[in-house]
Chain A
Amino acid sequence: MNTAVARRTALPFSILVAAAVIFAAPLVVALLTSLKSPSEITRVIALPNELYFQNYAVAYDRMGRSFLNSIAITVPSVIFSLLVGAISGYPLAYMRGAGGRAVYFFLLTGMLVPFQIVQIPLFFLIRSIGLYDSIPGMWLVHTAYSVPFCTFFMRNFFASVPRSMYEAALIDGCTPAGYFWRLLLPASGSGLAALAIIQSRAIWNDLLFAITLTTSDKATPVTATIAGFAGSLQVEYGPLMAATLISLLPVMVTYLLFQKAFVRGLLGGAGK
């Protein structure tokens, strides 16, 4: 019996192992490269003779500041976008009839629009209100362009909360706003957590708004710095791989830590 089962799963298992090796290889090679001295770098598959941390020092010199900028941009932007998503998802989950549906689809179209259609006017708009190349400017832009997805996500999450809870609260003398702040929001931890993870990835990883709206050390996030670093004529792969690994670490660690919340939130969001 056991051998029959083993035989039945042997092929799928070996396919999965092969796929896992291919999926992991680029990251492993990047890690090894980041620890090699310039003379060893061309021997791609070999392990480094000795760990060469100089690459990380070079990377930190070139992108330390933009790493801090990325944190300063991402954390508040995520909080603002969650708040706006909840404020907008709440009425849309509880309103019945054509009006609410019209607003909902109006906002949803934003999820499907290619950003190129807003890019040029956005550049001039942000410059004219004095927020070009500034961190608050990035907060504003990231929050605004998160409205469609966060609305979609929170509306679906709130729609899964039993409506009877809302009606009971109103009968007990709670105002609709009070219900939102005191009952609904505190009970929505799992949805907000999942959305926070999705939003951290989207905002931390953004390149388009970063290269359009920032230009100096004052506000440039790490993605734009790495793009510049990689685009230079003589690419030094050691420091570049070190910089790349530093840049991907925060989001990757977040996902590893909060995997469960993310999957649960995704199921809630996707299943509706």
Chain B
Amino acid sequence: MPDFQLMRRKLQTAGMTHAIFLSLPVTLFAIFYVYPIISTFNLSLHSWDGFSPTPKYVGLRNYVVLLHQSRFYHAVLNNISWLVFLLLGPTSLGLLLATLLDRGMKGEAVFRVVFFLPFTIPAVAVAAIWRWMYEPTGGLLTTILQSVELGGLAQNWLGDPSIVNFALMGSMLWWTTGFAFLVFFAGLRNIPVEYIEAARIEGATPWQVFWKVSFPLLWPSTIVVLGMAAVDAMRLFDIVWAMTNGGPAYASEVLATQMYDTAFGRFEMGRASAISVYLLVIAGLIIMPYIHQLAKRVQDAEAE
């Protein structure tokens, strides 16, 4: 017969212990997320160069001024193109490679390492390597095009405003596909073999097996990959900053690099804060469905 009195006392100490444990992360979160976010909102209503003793209150002027700048719209549009690209590009390439590899292919371990390795590299290293790939006269891309007699197609990859974003996306594809690949590869391994076998016995073609059986069962992996892609598209900073610094002529600028330039290059702290508030709002709108999905999963798990 269990001692209920003792058990209840235990649960009370458990509550205390939980609260004490949680106080550390909650404090860190309050100091490093909540306080700076409120402070950024406040700063966005001021004009301040970062040095003068008192910021000047200007109301919503920073927000209004930004809405009249084509430079700002251009960055917003770039963030949206990046969002579309990151949701589709690395996700589908990663899924394709994982699916092709998921059949006891020869050299599986080697392929897995080669596809995943770029993901372990720092963004600045990716930027340095790809600036060399894209070097307009002696870089690898131009050299290869010349060696197959297509030298006329060679471009000033990072110097031409109409091409620079595609060039950046190419390097991003190389960098991040490995993550999507590995998540899908692991997800495919989790699908019970019997499901696939059963479908095959019923006479399904590999194409049907993939779309009717594997792909729906991969949904948890797909959610992870798409969620990360959306967050990355909003946070996107280091690749752009290290490869083009937003250039040429702001052509490759995204909100994060524009904000950095405005704050730490031009010392317009209020204006920069307004940019980051806009970024937060856009990110919130895009990522909210994802939070909702996560919330539902925890509730479902607790209901079981």
- Asked if A241 and B131 make an inter-chain contact with CB atoms under 8 angstroms apart, the answer reads no
Task: Name the CB-closest residue of A to B93.
Answer: A19
* Cross-interface CB contact of A41 among B2, B138, B295, cutoff 8 Å: B138
**Contact A101-B298, Cβ < 8 Å, known A13-B105, A270-B221, A271-B220:** yes
Contact with B along A205-232 (1 / 0, CB 8 A): 1011000100000000011101101110
Is A255 in contact with chain B by the CB < 8 A criterion? Answer: yes
Task: Name the CB-closest residue of A to B14.
Answer: A176
- Asked if B115 and A122 make an inter-chain contact with CB atoms under 8 angstroms apart, the answer reads no
Q: Which residues of B contact A254 (CB under 8 A)?
A: 120
Task: Name the CB-closest residue of B to A200.
Answer: B120
Q: Which of A47-55, A92-100, A130-138 contacts the other chain?
A: A92-100
Is B122 in contact with chain A by the CB < 8 A criterion? Answer: yes
- Asked if B276 and A114 make an inter-chain contact with CB atoms under 8 angstroms apart, the answer reads yes
Alpha-carbon gap, A204 to B291, bound state (A): 27
**Contact A110-B120, Cβ < 8 Å, known A91-B21, A263-B182:** no
Q: Which residues of B contact A176 (CB under 8 A)?
A: 10, 13-14, 17-18
- Asked if B302 and A270 make an inter-chain contact with CB atoms under 8 angstroms apart, the answer reads no
Q: Which residues of B contact A244 (CB under 8 A)?
A: 124-125, 128-129
Q: Which residues of A contact B237 (CB under 8 A)?
A: 115-116, 207-208
Task: Name the CB-closest residue of B to A143.
Answer: B28
Q: Which residues of A contact B90 (CB under 8 A)?
A: none
Complex interface residues of chain B between 248 and 304 (CB less than 8 A to chain A): 255-256, 259-260, 263-264, 269, 272-273, 275-277, 279-280, 283, 287, 290-291, 294-295, 297-299, 301-302
- Asked if B7 and A171 make an inter-chain contact with CB atoms under 8 angstroms apart, the answer reads yes
Is B32 in contact with chain A by the CB < 8 A criterion? Answer: yes
Q: Which residues of A contact B203 (CB under 8 A)?
A: none
Q: Which residues of B contact A114 (CB under 8 A)?
A: 234-235, 255-256, 276, 279-280, 283
Q: Which residues of A contact B43 (CB under 8 A)?
A: 120-121
- Asked if A267 and B256 make an inter-chain contact with CB atoms under 8 angstroms apart, the answer reads no
Query: How many pairs of A and B residues are in contact by the CB < 8 Å rule?
Result: 278
* Cross-interface CB contact of B138 among A44, A111, A122, cutoff 8 Å: A44
- Asked if B129 and A241 make an inter-chain contact with CB atoms under 8 angstroms apart, the answer reads yes
Contact with A along B236-253 (1 / 0, CB 8 A): 011001100100000000
Task: Name the CB-closest residue of A to B131.
Answer: A230
Nearest Cβ in chain B — how far from A113, in angstroms? 7
- Asked if A270 and B187 make an inter-chain contact with CB atoms under 8 angstroms apart, the answer reads yes
Alpha-carbon gap, A105 to B113, bound state (A): 35
Q: Which residues of B contact A175 (CB under 8 A)?
A: 13, 17
Q: Which residues of A contact B17 (CB under 8 A)?
A: 91, 175-177, 180
Is A183 in contact with chain B by the CB < 8 A criterion? Answer: no
Nearest Cβ in chain A — how far from B187, in angstroms? 7
Task: Name the CB-closest residue of A to B123.
Answer: A207
Is A153 in contact with chain B by the CB < 8 A criterion? Answer: no
- Asked if B294 and A207 make an inter-chain contact with CB atoms under 8 angstroms apart, the answer reads no
Task: Name the CB-closest residue of A to B295.
Answer: A105
* Cross-interface CB contact of A106 among B29, B139, B242, B280, cutoff 8 Å: B29
Q: Which residues of A contact B73 (CB under 8 A)?
A: none
Nearest Cβ in chain B — how far from A29, in angstroms? 5
What range describes how many residues of B lie at the interface? 35 or more
* Cross-interface CB contact of B128 among A117, A177, A241, cutoff 8 Å: A241
Is A195 in contact with chain B by the CB < 8 A criterion? Answer: no
**Contact A270-B269, Cβ < 8 Å, known A16-B97, A19-B97, A87-B24:** no
Is A247 in contact with chain B by the CB < 8 A criterion? Answer: yes
Is A141 in contact with chain B by the CB < 8 A criterion? Answer: yes
Alpha-carbon gap, A272 to B223, bound state (A): 12
Complex interface residues of chain B between 187 and 238 (CB less than 8 A to chain A): 187, 189-190, 220-221, 224, 231, 234-235, 237-238
* Cross-interface CB contact of A94 among B18, B140, B269, cutoff 8 Å: B18
Is A199 in contact with chain B by the CB < 8 A criterion? Answer: no
Q: Which residues of A contact B245 (CB under 8 A)?
A: 231
- Asked if A9 and B105 make an inter-chain contact with CB atoms under 8 angstroms apart, the answer reads yes
Nearest Cβ in chain B — how far from A119, in angstroms? 7
Task: Name the CB-closest residue of B to A28.
Answer: B140
Is A252 in contact with chain B by the CB < 8 A criterion? Answer: yes
Is A1 in contact with chain B by the CB < 8 A criterion? Answer: no
Is A233 in contact with chain B by the CB < 8 A criterion? Answer: no
Alpha-carbon gap, A125 to B97, bound state (A): 45
Interface centre among B28, B40, B131, B221, by most chain A C-beta atoms within 10 angstroms, is B28
**Contact A9-B116, Cβ < 8 Å, known A114-B256, A247-B124, A263-B182:** no
Nearest Cβ in chain A — how far from B270, in angstroms? 9
Alpha-carbon gap, A25 to B141, bound state (A): 11
Is B155 in contact with chain A by the CB < 8 A criterion? Answer: no
Interface centre among B22, B183, B238, by most chain A C-beta atoms within 10 angstroms, is B22
Q: A88-B25, A205-B123, A207-B122 are in contact. List 4 more A-B contacts (CB 8 A).
A: A16-B101, A177-B17, A208-B238, A229-B128
Please list 24 pairs of residues, one from A and one from B, whose beta carbons are closer than 8 Å in the complex, sorted by A's number. Answer: A9-B105, A13-B105, A20-B114, A27-B117, A29-B140, A42-B137, A88-B21, A95-B18, A96-B302, A101-B298, A110-B33, A117-B279, A119-B260, A125-B35, A170-B14, A222-B122, A223-B123, A230-B131, A237-B135, A248-B120, A259-B113, A270-B186, A270-B187, A270-B221
Closest 3 CB pairs of A and B: A91-B18, A88-B25, A118-B36
